[in-house]
Structure 1
């Protein structure tokens, strides 16, 4: 089968590798959609800077997979051939407290392996997965919907739940890439009264408004406009940028007694703790991906909300054009980018 690898230096290499065979508790999934995440670009595609959980081990890339089950191994009871599935992209040890809570993302066992980072991911015709990492994709959702949920939408939903978004809230989203757009769309579905977005890119600001992810989009650094719109600040602030200045802006424009979540990976944040956090009584969450439990909840809610995550996908490519897919994603002027296969 064909698979795409990310050797660094902004390159993609297509290779022929052996088809996987399922072992005990394992499942082979025929890929139907594998979307590209900003962390793929930041930590693997451009150059390999990752350590620990982000250490790329020269495997098939792609940690946002969805597809159809082809074959199951012995000991598999919940998942069956033909099932449409989303792959939770971290395979933990299954035994620690974090795994038992469904937060395999926080597993610290040396056996922890992320799809597309330490074990083969979704940028391949077939994927070998552990049954425990699979969630059945509702019929109402597409494979591209499912791929978006596997990381981006799941990550945004976790943050929104942490800050407990409801109809009482105005929400500020800083960073209008795919995760920021996901956060805006779901914040509205959860009842947010107003969603204000901030980004340095005019193209991304325009796209966020066009998608309905935000009600108004403000250029980064335009504090006067943010104050005119939000006064003392929004009840909820969410940073999806991973940029230190933007993270600080998120906190500064979250109102007194407000709640903020830092979602975007990376960045060095320098903050006057007393003035910005303590004296303004802020609650700040660091929110890293999500759990299998929360992801299942999200899949159910998306059906109820009639919300399709593929709305944020602007371009799709076949696996043979994975290099072009990464070029478009890395340009930072589009929506989310997906690699797709035709369904049987």
Structure 2
């Protein structure tokens, strides 16, 4: 089979390697969609920045996979050959408190391994996944829908749940990349009467408006936000991963508001905690990916809402053009980029 590796230096290496075989408790998935995440770009594609949970160990890239189960190993009972599945992208020890709650993302065991980071991911003809990490796709959702749920939509949904967005709440989204688009689309479905986005990219603001993910979009620091959301937003999510964006999200939230910080990599310089947080009585959540339980809940909700995550995908490439796919994603002027296979 063919598989893509990320050696750093904004390069992708496509290699021919042996087909993998599932072990006990595992399934082999014929890949159908594998989307590219901003974390891959930030911490692996450009250069290998990560350590600990973000340490890249030279494996097949891609942590947002969806496909059809082709074969199963011993001990597999819930998942069957032929099932259409999305893979939760962190495989934990399965025994700690976090794993038992479904938050394998927070597993601290040395056994913890993320697909595409410490174990082979979805940028290949086939991938091996543990049965416990696989969720069956509803018939209404496509493989690209599933790949989008694996990380981006799952992450946005968890943040929306943390800040309890409802029909009572305006919603501010800082950063209108794929996760920001997801937050806006689902925030609307949860009933938010006003969703406003902030992003320096005109292309991303235009896409957010075109998709209906936001009611209005503006540039950082323009002063227009105070006109669009007098007094500040009831709820807010930072998806930018920049200190400037995170600070703007906090500053743009009204007193007693609720904030989720999702985008990684930022450092907030000059934050006056008393003025910006304590005196405003803000509730701030750090929200890291989601749980398998909430991902399963999201798949059911998307089916009920008739909402297709694949609408945030603006460019698709075959595996043979995976280098072009990463270059397009790294330009940060598009929506989601996906590698796709014919079913």
Name the structure 1 match of 2:114.
114
Output the TM-score relative to the length of structure 2.
0.99
Name the structure 2 match of 1:230.
229
- Distance (whole Å) between structure 2 residues aligned to residue 137 and residue 182 of structure 1: 18
Residue 231 of structure 1, CA deviation: 1.4
Alignment deviations for residues 143-163 of structure 1 (CA, whole Å, 9 cap, x no partner): 000000000000000000000
Alignment deviations for residues 60-99 of structure 1 (CA, whole Å, 9 cap, x no partner): 1000000000000110000000000000000000000000
- Distance (whole Å) between structure 2 residues aligned to residue 245 and residue 133 of structure 1: 35
Name the structure 2 match of 1:332.
332
- Secondary structure, counterpart of 1:59 in structure 2: coil
Structure-to-structure mapping, 1:104-253, within 5 angstroms: 104-222=104-222, 224-253=223-252
Name structure 1 gaps, 5 residues minimum: none
Residue 232 of structure 1, CA deviation: 1.5
- Secondary structure, counterpart of 1:33 in structure 2: strand
Name the structure 2 match of 1:291.
291
Output the TM-score relative to the length of structure 1.
0.99
RMSD over aligned CA atoms reads: 0.5
- Distance (whole Å) between structure 2 residues aligned to residue 125 and residue 82 of structure 1: 16
- Distance (whole Å) between structure 2 residues aligned to residue 200 and residue 168 of structure 1: 28
- Secondary structure, counterpart of 1:333 in structure 2: coil
My pick for the range that moved more, 164-173 or 267-276, is: 267-276
Name the structure 1 match of 2:267.
268
Residue 17 of structure 1, CA deviation: 1.1
Residue 18 of structure 1, CA deviation: 1.2
- Distance (whole Å) between structure 1 residues aligned to residue 86 and residue 316 of structure 2: 18
Name structure 2 gaps, 5 residues minimum: none
- Distance (whole Å) between structure 2 residues aligned to residue 148 and residue 22 of structure 1: 24
- Distance (whole Å) between structure 1 residues aligned to residue 251 and residue 219 of structure 2: 16
- Secondary structure, counterpart of 2:158 in structure 1: helix
Q: Could you list the runs of 4 or more consecutive aligned residues of structure 1 that deviate by over 3 angstroms after TM superposition?
A: none
Residue 41 of structure 1, CA deviation: 0.3
